[in-house]
Amino acid sequence: MALLQISEPGQSTKPHERKLAAGIDLGTTNSLVASVRSGQASILPDVNGLELLPSIVHYSADSKPIVGSDAKQYKISDPLNTISSVKRYMGRSLKDIQSKETSLHYDFIETDSMVPRIQTAAGAVSAIEVSAQILSVLKQRAEITLGDELSGVVITVPAYFDDAQRQATKDAGKLAGLNVLRLLNEPTAAAVAYGLDKGADGVIAVYDLGGGTFDISILRLNKGVFEVLATAGDTALGGDDFDHLIAQWIKQQLDISNELITDTQEKSVNNQIINAACQAKQNLTTQQSTTIEINIDGVKSTLELDLEQLNVLIDPLIKKTLVPCRRALRDAQVELEEVSAVVMVGGSTRVLRVREKVAEHFQQDPMVDINPDTVVAIGAAIQADVLAGNKPDGDLLLLDVVPLSLGLETMGNLVEKIIPRNTTIPVARAQEFTTYKDGQTAMSMHVVQGERELVSDCRSLGRFSLKGIPPLVAGSARIKVTFQVDADGLLHVTAREETTGIESGIEVKPSFGLTDTEIEKMLLDSMEHAEEDVAARMLHEQQVEATRVIEALAAALEDDGDMLSEEERHSIETAAANLVEVVSGNDDRAIKNAIQELDKVAEVFVSRRMDSNIRKAMAGHNVNEFEA
Amino acid sequence: MDNTRSNTNSNKGLTQNYFELFSLNVSFDIDLKKLSENFRVLQQAVHPDRFANASDQERRISVQRAAQINEAHQVLKSPQRRARYLIELQGVVFDDQVNPVMAPIFLMQQMELREALSDVKSSADPEAALVKILSDLKFSRTEILNKLGEQLNRPEHANIEKASQLMHELQFLDKLQSESELIEEELMDSL
């Protein structure tokens, strides 16, 4: 008989097995890393005690890239090689960037893979690589502070990020050598930090206006479960845009022409004006008026900007955030009166006019007593701690949604929606198609994301083709295509011909993403002794997974072995023995195959256990109900 | 895009109907509080976050189950989808494509709403005009749903024909709703 193990609630039975995990807020303007230590989530500062890492990377020909505050000074002296606000370019094609930005700050070059690159003194870099530089610095900071390697991280993304932008963020994490446990929506992360801190239950709205993105999320909080009811936003709207409007005003006042600036000299003037605009905006969060000083070719000019004028400039942008607020409430099917708190997140919510307008819209004063800069990273750290397995008995559960509808192109450039926006994830929808020609063996599909009815107004996520359809009479093939959005908000598409059972598991490769070869090449470039390293890494990964499978199976057989017939148990044990045999070898492919073989025979067992989990949970809950 | 499709939901693995899954009576009026409570209980048991350190296979199956529970929850939460599901549980296949004969009064209302919708963009305050239409739509929807409830609260005795008729009326409203939302998207983009 097994002895009862007694441990304090919430504590792991083996404290030394506690895994190091961190939450990373990869922001447009600033990035942060946080971690849970002794039960408390906190921001991990750098050696100088600074919490915020400016999201700026400076590239030079002869030394390693410089990240953060040290890179900031190069904004004016070396603007083309100093990349800031790179988040705006994540998952975007050159065409997108050209249509969204009023002027291009860098020398963009087109590439084969649709991921544009920026020409720098250190060569051409993609937004993913620039982000990976920032992540690497945060990784290093965390590992120095925590004293060991990180086992996994949660990286936050704007809730309104589409599939391509999410995929790019995950790729950046991979490139920085991080194990990305989850992509977490920023407003959800903020809600977790806020909700756990205040012990709040009920419906809350999170208004998140950052440097370059805007999100509004409506959530229901209930005993540790954070259920997102709806989200809306704009991934190209933030404090940066306030700065640009103020900068334009400065130029008008000083009579500087606002043509597309390409010359380095002018770019540096431009950056000077933007910096001044940003400073003026910040000053006006605590004072009624501010003085702006601009120095061009030794000629100094000064200007006064008061609160009233600032409000006139930015009101249209603030108004632009209120329409999504209304839509989110409607999608959530929540009345204004039900919202018990409006949580303000993101540095731009320090702007007084933003607070005023939000208060007016939600008919209540927003919560401004939490730190809008750090709350997202703190929430991410809490989630990372749970996902790393440090809180096996915790209640915390986050249920998020798909921010934008997913659809397919149909005839006439129209979109047919498959998964509507604000559907809780994970979600799977299957749809059946047939062939329209005799003997047709291939078909292609175009997956798009967005709310508009024309394909050209939505965002193209990728085209994928289904090949090897058995040649049949037109209309008799039954091709079932399943669209699945996982807990990271990433889309996976699989297709299967139902009459013959031919399956082609196709992960939709977003047309804006990097190809696997590109990622592999980047990894290779970033490592010495690269090839051996990659091979060793792959073997190690398979061994880790195999060990996990073997241990999980042993525990499952011990607990629930009685769910299996003699025969079923025998075939599982045979496959498991085979895996044990190959795991210590150095053939990663043999291990992979053995895992797949075991998976096949154990599928029914895992399913039964999952269903038994469901029954147990419901039974336990209903018993409590009677007792109450 | 190649054509002809039918919407099927991925149901592999679940043998209970959605009401049974959530321990609810098979009826149009349901205890919404119990629905969301049991939804949380079920997700606590199967959500992929609970299996972050499990094997790939367990994680895959947890994603499948979580998706099925989400689907069931959304069907039961939405009165319209719940009604349709109840009709289908009676063994009736509800056909969207059939064009039913609608009552003249209903059609008149629809035409008025449609006219108002086409005037939105040219009105002095398009946003306000749209908000008005959306609230009118919401009101009509509530009315129809109440009638549906009367039919489907004892689904085995329901007048399926009458219920189907009401479902078609709702589809008219859906169309207007999504057209209104498209206009809203355009207004948002033009800001």
What are the structure tokens assigned to A275, written together? Answer: 């910096």
Which residues of A are the active-site residues? 25, 87, 186, 208
Tell if the CB–CB gap between B187 and A410 is shorter than 8 Å.
no
Given this model, what pLDDT does residue A508 score?
45
Given this model, what pLDDT does residue A257 score?
64
CA distance A501 to chain B (A): 15
- Give the nearest partner residue to A602 out of B45, B52, B57, using CB atoms: B57
SS3 A99: helix
With a CB cutoff of 8 Å and minimum separation 6, the contacts of A120 are A59, A80, A81, A83
Tell if the CB–CB gap between A610 and B73 is shorter than 8 Å.
no
Q: Residue count of chain B, please give it.
A: 191
Using an 8 Å CB-CB cutoff, list chain B residues near A456.
none
Tell if the CB–CB gap between A545 and B67 is shorter than 8 Å.
no
- State the Cα–Cα distance between residues A381 and A42, nearest whole angstrom: 8
A324 in contact with B at a CB cutoff of 8 Å? yes
More confident residue, A198 or B63: B63
Using an 8 Å CB-CB cutoff, list chain B residues near A21.
none
Given this model, what pLDDT does residue A280 score?
96
Given this model, what pLDDT does residue B70 score?
95
User: Above pLDDT 70, what percent of chain A?
Assistant: 88
Please compute the mean of the pLDDT values over residues A307-333 and round it to a whole number. Answer: 93
- Average confidence score pLDDT of chain B: 84
- State the Cα–Cα distance between residues A61 and A130, nearest whole angstrom: 15
CA distance A155 to chain B (A): 15
pLDDT tens readout for residues A40-49 = 999 999 999 9
Residue among A483, A300, A488, A299 at smallest CA distance from A400: A488
How sure is the predictor about A12, in pLDDT bands with cuts at 50, 70 and 90?
very low
Residue among A414, A417, A489, A483 at smallest CA distance from A453: A414
Token pair 């002895």 is found at: A3
- Give the nearest partner residue to A552 out of B41, B45, B54, using CB atoms: B54
User: Above pLDDT 90, what percent of chain A?
Assistant: 52
pLDDT tens readout for residues B28-53 = 999 999 999 999 999 999 999 988 87
Given this model, what pLDDT does residue A624 score?
54
Tell if the CB–CB gap between A613 and B184 is shorter than 8 Å.
no
CA distance B92 to chain A (A): 21
CA distance B140 to chain A (A): 16
With a CB cutoff of 8 Å and minimum separation 6, the contacts of A67 are A53, A56, A57, A58, A133, A134, A136, A137
pLDDT tens readout for residues A449-477 = 988 888 888 888 877 777 777 788 888 88
Token pair 């043998």 is found at: B15
- Average confidence score pLDDT of chain A: 86
Please compute the mean of the pLDDT values over residues A168-175 and round it to a whole number. Answer: 93
Given this model, what pLDDT does residue A129 score?
94
Phi, psi of B90 (to 5 degrees): -80, 5
pLDDT tens readout for residues B91-120 = 887 776 666 778 888 888 888 888 998 888
How sure is the predictor about A336, in pLDDT bands with cuts at 50, 70 and 90?
very high
What are the structure tokens assigned to A129, written together? Answer: 């690589």
Given this model, what pLDDT does residue A265 score?
67
Q: ipTM score of the complex?
A: 0.80
H helices, E strands: number in chain B: 7, 1
Please compute the mean of the pLDDT values over residues A539-562 and round it to a whole number. Answer: 87
Distances (CA, A) of B54 to A17, A153, A386, A430, A580: 16, 17, 13, 26, 18
- Give the nearest partner residue to B2 out of A443, A548, A602, using CB atoms: A443
Given this model, what pLDDT does residue A588 score?
86
Instruction: Give the least confident one: A84-98, A270-284, B56-70.
Output: A84-98
Name the most confidently modeled range: A90-99, A110-119, A519-528: A90-99
pLDDT tens readout for residues A558-595 = 889 899 999 999 999 999 999 999 988 888 889 999 99
Residue A394 pLDDT exceeds 90 = no
Tell if the CB–CB gap between A545 and B56 is shorter than 8 Å.
yes
Listed by number, the residues of chain A in 230-289 with a beta carbon closer than 8 Å to a beta carbon of chain B are none
CA A604 to chain centre: 33
Is the peptide bond preceding residue A426 cis, with omega within 30 degrees of 0? yes
Instruction: Give the least confident one: A5-19, A96-110, A337-351.
Output: A5-19
Alpha helices in A393-444 (DSSP H): none
pLDDT tens readout for residues A202-240 = 999 999 999 889 999 999 999 889 999 999 998 889 999
Instruction: Supply the pTM of this predicted model.
Output: 0.84
Given this model, what pLDDT does residue A40 score?
93
- State the Cα–Cα distance between residues A293 and A279, nearest whole angstrom: 10
Name which of A621, A623, A626 to mutate to probe chain B: the one with the most chain B Cβ atoms within 10 A of its Cβ. Answer: A621
Listed by number, the residues of chain A in 355-384 with a beta carbon closer than 8 Å to a beta carbon of chain B are none
Using an 8 Å CB-CB cutoff, list chain A residues near B182.
451-453
More confident residue, B173 or A517: B173
Residue B133 pLDDT exceeds 70 = yes
Using an 8 Å CB-CB cutoff, list chain A residues near B62.
610
Using an 8 Å CB-CB cutoff, list chain A residues near B71.
427-428
Given this model, what pLDDT does residue A102 score?
62
A604 in contact with B at a CB cutoff of 8 Å? no
What are the structure tokens assigned to A363, written together? Answer: 């008919």
- State the Cα–Cα distance between residues A72 and A82, nearest whole angstrom: 8
pLDDT tens readout for residues A506-535 = 444 445 455 556 666 666 665 555 566 667
Distances (CA, A) of A123 to A85, A493, B124: 19, 35, 53
Tell if the CB–CB gap between B49 and A618 is shorter than 8 Å.
no
Using an 8 Å CB-CB cutoff, list chain A residues near B6.
431-432
Tell if the CB–CB gap between A545 and B10 is shorter than 8 Å.
no
Residue A9 pLDDT exceeds 60 = no
